[in-house]
C-alpha cells in the first residue's frame, strides 16, 4: 500500500515538475534565452554543442545552418508547443464535454446525431484529418488550434457520454428530476461535478497528444512557417543534416520526448490517484 501511494506521488511530482519547468521556461523565455532565436550569423553556422571538442560556450547547445542559437530556439519553441497544445485541448474538451453530456442525458435524436457524428469522425485518424484541413486552410497558430481542437473532441464526447448515461440513473439524479428540476440545472449541479476527476485526467493526457500532432504537422511543413521557432520546425530543419549536424534534430526531439513524457506521467499519476477502485484496494 505504501509503495503504491509512493509510486503515484512520485509520478505526479516528477511529471508535474517537468511540466512546470517547461511552462516557466516558456513564460520567461526573453529572460532565459541568451540570444535572439531569429538572429542569423553565417560566420557561426553549425557550431556543435559544448560537449563537442569544437563547441563554443557562447552557444552552449550549438547553432543551426543559419548560425541561430539552438538553446534560444528551444526555449522559444516551448512557447508555441505549450500554447497550441493547451489551447487545442481546451477547445476539444469544451466541445466534447458539452456534446457528450447533452447526448448522454437527453437521448433521442440528439444522442443519435451527436454519437453518429463522433463515430464518423473516428473513422479517420486524427492526424490525417488535421493534415487535410491544414493543407486546405493554411498553417498558423490559430488554424492549428482550431484544427486540432475540432479533430480531438470525439475523445471527450465518448467518455462524457458513457459516464453521463451511467450517472443519470443514480438516485440523486432521479430525485432531482422528481422534484421538477430542469435538465440544464441537473447537468450543471449534479452530473458535471461527477465528471470533473475523469475530465481532468483525459484533458491532461490529451495535451500531450495535441503537442505531438502539432509537432508532426510542423515537421511536415503544415504548421507555422519557417523561420518560426517551433520544435517541429527544428526537427524538419535538421533532417537533411543528420550526419553533419545531428544536434539540430536531436535536441528538439529530446525536448519533445521529455515534455510529452512528463505530461503522461502527470496524467497517469492523476488517474491512479483519482480512480476510486485504486483507492479502494489500498
- Residue 6 has a pLDDT of 52
The predicted model scores a pTM of 0.84
CA atoms within a 13 Å half-sphere pointing along the CA-CB vector of 160: 33
Ranges of H-type helices in 28-140: 29-32, 70-106, 108-122, 126-137
Q: What are phi and psi of 58, to 5 degrees?
A: -65, -30
**Which segments in the chain show pLDDT lower than 50?**
1-3, 277-282
Report CA 278 to chain centroid distance, whole Å. 26
At 69, is the secondary structure helix, strand, or coil? strand
For 183, the grid coordinates are: 435538465
For 97, the grid coordinates are: 464535454
Q: What is the pLDDT of residues 236-277, one digit of tens each?
A: 888 878 888 899 889 999 999 999 999 988 888 887 776 654
- Residue 1 has a pLDDT of 47
Give the residue from 19, 23, 126, 117 showing the smallest Cα distance to 78.
Answer: 23
Could you tell me which residues are beta bridge partners of residue 56? Answer: 59
At 59, is the secondary structure helix, strand, or coil? strand
- Residue 180 has a pLDDT of 77
Chosen CATH of 2-280 out of 1.20.1250.20, 1.10.3720.10, 3.30.2350.10, 1.10.1750.10: 1.10.3720.10
At 36, is the secondary structure helix, strand, or coil? coil
Amino acid at each position: 500500500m505504501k509503495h503504491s501511494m509512493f509510486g503515484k506521488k512520485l509520478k505526479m511530482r516528477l511529471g508535474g515538475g517537468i511540466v512546470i519547468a517547461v511552462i516557466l521556461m516558456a513564460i520567461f523565455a526573453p529572460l532565459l534565452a541568451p540570444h535572439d532565436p531569429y538572429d542569423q550569423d553565417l560566420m557561426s553556422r553549425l557550431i556543435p554543442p559544448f560537449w563537442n571538442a569544437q563547441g563554443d560556450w557562447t552557444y552552449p547547445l550549438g547553432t543551426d545552418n543559419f548560425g541561430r542559437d539552438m538553446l534560444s530556439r528551444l526555449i522559444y519553441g516551448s512557447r508555441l508547443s505549450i500554447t497550441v497544445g493547451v489551447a487545442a485541448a481546451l477547445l476539444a474538451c469544451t466541445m466534447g464535454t458539452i456534446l457528450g453530456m447533452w447526448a448522454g442525458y437527453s437521448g433521442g435524436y440528439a444522442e443519435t446525431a451527436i454519437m453518429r457524428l463522433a463515430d464518423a469522425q473516428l473513422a479517420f485518424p486524427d492526424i490525417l484529418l488535421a493534415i487535410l484541413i491544414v493543407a486546405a486552410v493554411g498553417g498558423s497558430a490559430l488554424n492549428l488550434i482550431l484544427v486540432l481542437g475540432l479533430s480531438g473532441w470525439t475523445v471527450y464526447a465518448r467518455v462524457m457520454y458513457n459516464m453521463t448515461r451511467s450517472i443519470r440513473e443514480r438516485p440523486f439524479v432521479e430525485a432531482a428530476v422528481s422534484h421538477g428540476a430542469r435538465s440544464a440545472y441537473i447537468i450543471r449541479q449534479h452530473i458535471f461535478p461527477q465528471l470533473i476527476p475523469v475530465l481532468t485526467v483525459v484533458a491532461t493526457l490529451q495535451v500531450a497528444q495535441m503537442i505531438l500532432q502539432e509537432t508532426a504537422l510542423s515537421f511536415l511543413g503544415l504548421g507555422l512557417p519557417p523561420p518560426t521557432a517551433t520544435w517541429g520546425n527544428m526537427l524538419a530543419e535538421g533532417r537533411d543534416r543528420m550526419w553533419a549536424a545531428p544536434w539540430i534534430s536531436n535536441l528538439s526531439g529530446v525536448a519533445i520526448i521529455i515534455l510529452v513524457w512528463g505530461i503522461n506521467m502527470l496524467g497517469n499519476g492523476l488517474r491512479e490517484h483519482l480512480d476510486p477502485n485504486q483507492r479502494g484496494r489500498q
